[in-house]
């Protein structure tokens, strides 16, 4: 049935207030760009159809926003994030209104925008965040296509799914989930021509990135296989990681909130409404797949984020139909986390635990870059070399207006990161400042020891050496 839009003004008010507060907090955010954020910004300075480790949409978005703002400051690099999660919340509300009720739509919008994953994703720009509204839109458009039988709705769903894939390859889970739903649930099936139209639209959107990969030795595919790990290991069974699988599963109670994730597990096992079956296939297999990956090698807590677009609707409906008193409890717990995270970013480097800032990994990056830049300029060199991807990422952003060149050592084999792939040190380079923990064999005494206390590099003995002309670190 078509969604009742009576819910929209109230949901938009809740989402709008949360988003406004997040933008204000973002303005006063005292954390540095994380290594991935700096890299995405750099990609945006070199627009392409694909990059070493991710598809290109996040780079295009950051470039568009920073160009419009006329500034590359961290605030503008991250600015799209809270708005993308706000849009996702409202789109999921529309799905809930279509499948359940206006009341469910309001609770879904409020629950999603306060998820811990949305709170953290509004502080940092990530590929999960850019994927979110497109994945949610694909779910909505797919539901419309089932109900209407129209080719246009199917094409729109394919386009939305394709854009989600261009944000993060986890967007492919949408096709997997809809195919599984169609296999097991007759009412979730599109007509054959609708399937063809949706797949054709999806392939048309992602084709430029596929062609880019084919023309660049499948660079992003190779990096993805490196992340999966066990695929490239002959004795993969020796790397089985049951503790890692349990840790990943337990981490989901933090990613989605303890009450909401518990309700989602309940909905998977004993769903309150059979009509929500397609949402089970768009959520449960994702968590199962990543749990398997964690068991076979490793998995980060955010690798199953795509499960919580459909999953938030399922969990809210489950609570609404069977335990409505849990809804305000879930919202209160997640709302507290949503408030605490931006407050921590605003008051950083406080508080501290054991003498270390709670947000230590997001601090000290720009300060180290400024020390390195000052050392390079003071020693009359125009090139800085660093082995660490983290150091290089921030150097490119913090040192963007210095005129210095930043380089990675030349890789001995396949490049291990974007910097080795795109910015390797040339064989006949002039004098350069080398930054690291170990002295290069062809360099003299260190010219600098960098301060690293209280930040991401705390405990590291980072120094700088002048590499003579032609010296290969």
pLDDT tens-digit series, residues 4-63: 679 999 999 999 999 999 999 999 999 999 999 999 999 999 999 999 989 999 999 999
The closest of 162, 141, 137 to 152, measured between CA atoms, is 141
Q: How confident is the model at residue 442 (pLDDT cuts 50, 70, 90)?
A: confident
For residues 282 and 227, is the Cβ–Cβ distance under 8 A? no
Helices (H), 100-191: 102-113, 116-121, 127-148, 151-167, 172-184
The predicted model scores a pTM of 0.95
Mean pLDDT within 113-132: 98
Give pLDDT, residue 279: 98
For residues 324 and 318, is the Cβ–Cβ distance under 8 A? no
Helices (H), 185-325: 192-215, 219-228, 242-255, 258-269, 277-281, 284-296, 307-322
Q: How buried is 317 (Cβ within 10 angstroms: 0-12 exposed, 13-18 middle, 19+ buried)? A: buried
Between CA 30 and CA 443 the distance in angstroms is 36
Q: How buried is 18 (Cβ within 10 angstroms: 0-12 exposed, 13-18 middle, 19+ buried)? A: buried
What is the pairing mode between strands 383-386 and 432-436? parallel
Between CA 27 and CA 76 the distance in angstroms is 9
Instruction: Using the predicted structure, report yes or no on whether residue 370 has a pLDDT greater than 60.
Output: yes
| Stated length of the chain | 473
**What would the pLDDT profile of 314-351 be if each residue is shown by its tens digit?**
999 999 999 999 999 999 999 999 999 999 999 999 99
State the chain's mean pLDDT as an integer. 94
Instruction: Using the predicted structure, report yes or no on whether residue 217 has a pLDDT greater than 70.
Output: yes
Instruction: Using the predicted structure, report yes or no on whether residue 127 has a pLDDT greater than 70.
Output: yes
**What would the pLDDT profile of 166-191 be if each residue is shown by its tens digit?**
999 999 999 999 999 999 999 999 99
For residues 30 and 345, is the Cβ–Cβ distance under 8 A? yes
Instruction: Using the predicted structure, report yes or no on whether residue 383 has a pLDDT greater than 80.
Output: yes
What is the pairing mode between strands 356-357 and 352-353? antiparallel
């Amino acid at each position: 049935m078509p969604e009742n839009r009576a819910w929209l003004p109230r949901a938009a008010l809740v989402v709008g207030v949360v988003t406004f507060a997040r933008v204000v907090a973002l303005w006063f955010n005292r954390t540095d760009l994380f290594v991935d954020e700096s890299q995405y910004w750099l990609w945006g300075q070199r627009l392409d159809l694909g990059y070493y480790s991710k598809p290109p949409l996040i780079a295009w978005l950051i470039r568009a926003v920073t160009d419009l703002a006329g500034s590359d400051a961290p605030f503008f690099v991250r600015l799209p994030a809270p708005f993308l999660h706000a849009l996702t919340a409202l789109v999921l509300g529309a799905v809930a209104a279509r499948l359940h009720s206006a009341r469910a739509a309001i609770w879904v919008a409020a629950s999603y925008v306060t998820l811990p994953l949305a709170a953290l994703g509004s502080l940092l720009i990530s590929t999960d965040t850019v994927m979110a509204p497109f994945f949610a839109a694909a779910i909505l458009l797919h539901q419309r296509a089932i109900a209407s039988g129209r080719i246009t709705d199917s094409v729109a769903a394919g386009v939305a799914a394709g854009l989600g894939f261009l944000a993060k390859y986890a967007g492919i889970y949408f096709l997997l989930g809809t195919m599984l739903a169609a296999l097991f649930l007759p009412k979730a099936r599109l007509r054959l021509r609708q399937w063809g139209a949706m797949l054709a639209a999806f392939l048309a959107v992602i084709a430029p990135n596929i062609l880019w990969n084919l023309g660049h030795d499948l660079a992003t595919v190779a990096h993805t296989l490196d992340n999966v790990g066990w695929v490239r290991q002959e004795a993969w069974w020796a790397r089985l990681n049951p503790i890692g699988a349990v840790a990943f599963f337990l981490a989901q109670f933090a990613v989605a909130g303890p009450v909401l994730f518990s309700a989602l597990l309940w909905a998977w096992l004993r769903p309150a409404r059979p009509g929500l079956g397609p949402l089970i296939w768009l959520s449960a297999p994702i968590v199962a797949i990543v749990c398997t990956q964690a068991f076979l090698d490793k998995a980060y807590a955010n690798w199953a984020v795509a499960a919580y677009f459909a999953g938030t609707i399922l969990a809210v409906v489950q609570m609404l139909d069977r335990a409505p008193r849990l809804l305000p409890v879930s919202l209160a717990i997640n709302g507290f986390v949503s408030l605490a995270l931006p407050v921590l970013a605003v008051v950083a480097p406080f508080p501290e635990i054991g003498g270390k800032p709670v947000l230590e990994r997001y601090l000290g990056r720009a300060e180290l870059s400024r020390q390195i830049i000052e050392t390079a300029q003071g020693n009359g060199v125009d090139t800085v070399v660093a082995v660490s991807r983290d150091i290089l990422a921030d150097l490119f952003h913090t040192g963007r207006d210095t005129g210095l060149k930043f380089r990675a050592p030349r890789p001995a084999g396949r490049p291990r990161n974007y910097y080795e792939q795109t910015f390797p040190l040339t064989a006949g380079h002039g004098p350069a400042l080398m930054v690291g923990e170990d002295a290069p064999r062809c360099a003299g005494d260190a010219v600098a020891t960098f301060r690293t206390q209280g930040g991401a590099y705390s405990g590291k003995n980072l120094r700088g050496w002048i590499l003579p002309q032609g010296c290969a670190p």
